[in-house]
Amino acid sequence: MQYPEEWNQLPKHERRRKIKELKRNQKKSTAVFQKTKKTFLTLLVLLVVVVSYKQITKKTPKQIEFEEEVKEVSLDGKVTEFEIEGREHISSQAVVEYQTNPPTSGDHLSLAENWGVYKEEIEDKAAVHGLEHGGIWISYKNIDDESIEKLRNIGKDNPQSVIVSPRSKNDSNVVVASWGKMMELESVDEVLIQKYINTNKNNSPEQIAR
C-alpha cells in the first residue's frame, strides 16, 4: 500500500496505526465516490427519460390547431337527449327492444365491449354496457374508406373511452352515442366528434372511461 515515505521513520506501532487509518479513509472515499456515481447515473437516466417523454408527447402545430378548433366548435342543436331506458344485466339470449337507434341506454350484457376499433359489427347489448361505463360509441354505415380511416384514427386517439364499429341498422351514416345522448351526422366531422367525446365522456352512471 502506498503511504508517505517519512512514515518509515515512525515507530512500528505508530506506522501501523496511520496505515490502518489511511485504509479506512480510502475505503470511505471509495464508498462516497460509488454513491455519488450511482446518484449521478440515476439522475442522468431520469433526465433522458424526461427529455424523451417530452419529445414523444410534444404536440405538432397541426395537433394544436385541431385542439383549438375543438374548443371553439359548438354542439348546440346537434345532440339529442333521450330518456334512460334502464341498466339491468341480461343474458346473451335475452331480447331487448331499444327505443333509440342505435341504443343509448337500457338493459345490457354483463360484460362490456372492449374499447377499440372494430372492422365487424358488434352486439348492441355489449356496446350499451360501454356507454354505461362512460364511453362513446361511434357507429357508421355507407361511408368511404377515407372516412372510415378518420373514424379509426379518432378511436386510436381515444383508446380508453371510444368504440368504433360499423352498424348497418343505423338511420344516419355516422352516429356518435353516449349514455342517454346521440349525435347523428351524414359524414365524418372530426372536430365535432372530438368535441362530443370531450363533452360527454363519463356522463354516465359508472365513470370508467379515461
In a shared domain, residues 99 and 180? yes
In a shared domain, residues 95 and 183? yes
45's CB contacts (< 8 A; 6+ apart) are none
- The more confident residue out of 39 and 113 is 113
In a shared domain, residues 130 and 48? no
Give 82-136 as a DSSP string. -------EE-TT-----SSSS--SS-EESSPPPSEE-SS---HHHHHHHHHTT-E
In a shared domain, residues 34 and 84? no
Q: What pLDDT band is residue 43 in, cutting at 50, 70 and 90?
A: confident
In a shared domain, residues 102 and 183? yes
120: CATH: 3.40.30
In a shared domain, residues 29 and 86? no
Q: Beta 108-109 vs 174-178: how paired, if at all?
A: unpaired
Q: Which helix (H) or strand (E) holds 164?
A: strand 162-166
2's CB contacts (< 8 A; 6+ apart) are none
In a shared domain, residues 176 and 88? yes
What local confidence, expressed as pLDDT, does residue 57 receive?
66
Report the share of the chain in percent with pLDDT over 70: 96
Q: What pLDDT band is residue 54 in, cutting at 50, 70 and 90?
A: low
What local confidence, expressed as pLDDT, does residue 110 receive?
96
Condensed to tens digits (0 to 9), the pLDDT of residues 102-120 reads 999 999 999 999 999 999 9
In a shared domain, residues 36 and 86? no
What local confidence, expressed as pLDDT, does residue 135 receive?
98
In a shared domain, residues 170 and 83? yes
What local confidence, expressed as pLDDT, does residue 153 receive?
97
In a shared domain, residues 108 and 26? no
Q: Which helix (H) or strand (E) holds 184?
A: strand 181-185
- The strand pairing partners of 165, in sequence order, are 139
How much is the pTM?
0.74
Flag whether 67 is in a domain: no
Cα 106 to Cα 89: distance, rounded to the nearest angstrom: 9
Flag whether 142 is in a domain: yes
Q: What is the 3 state secondary structure string of 58-71?
A: CCCHHHHHHHHHHH
Q: Beta 162-166 vs 116-117: how paired, if at all?
A: parallel
Exposure class string for 74-112: b at 16+ Cβ within 10 A, else e: eeeebbeebeebebeeeeeeeebebebbbbbbbbbbeeb
Flag whether 110 is in a domain: yes
For residue 9, what are the domain limits? 5-57
Flag whether 210 is in a domain: no
State the amino acid at position 136 in one-letter form. I
Flag whether 175 is in a domain: yes
DSSP state of 202: T
In a shared domain, residues 45 and 93? no
Instruction: Specify whether the CB–CB gap between 8 and 15 falls below 8 A.
Output: yes
Q: What pLDDT band is residue 53 in, cutting at 50, 70 and 90?
A: low
Domain count along the chain: 2
Nearest-5° Cα angle at 86, 85 to 90: 120
Condensed to tens digits (0 to 9), the pLDDT of residues 183-205 reads 999 999 999 999 999 999 999 99
In a shared domain, residues 85 and 188? yes
What local confidence, expressed as pLDDT, does residue 21 receive?
84
- pLDDT value at 3 more than 80: no
User: 37: helix, coil or strand?
Assistant: helix
- The more confident residue out of 2 and 114 is 114
- The strand pairing partners of 163, in sequence order, are 116, 137
Mean pLDDT of all residues belonging to the chain: 92
Flag whether 174 is in a domain: yes
Flag whether 72 is in a domain: no
Flag whether 66 is in a domain: no
Kindly report whether the peptide bond that precedes residue 102 is cis, defined as omega within 30 degrees of 0.
yes
Condensed to tens digits (0 to 9), the pLDDT of residues 153-170 reads 999 999 999 999 999 999
Q: What pLDDT band is residue 44 in, cutting at 50, 70 and 90?
A: confident
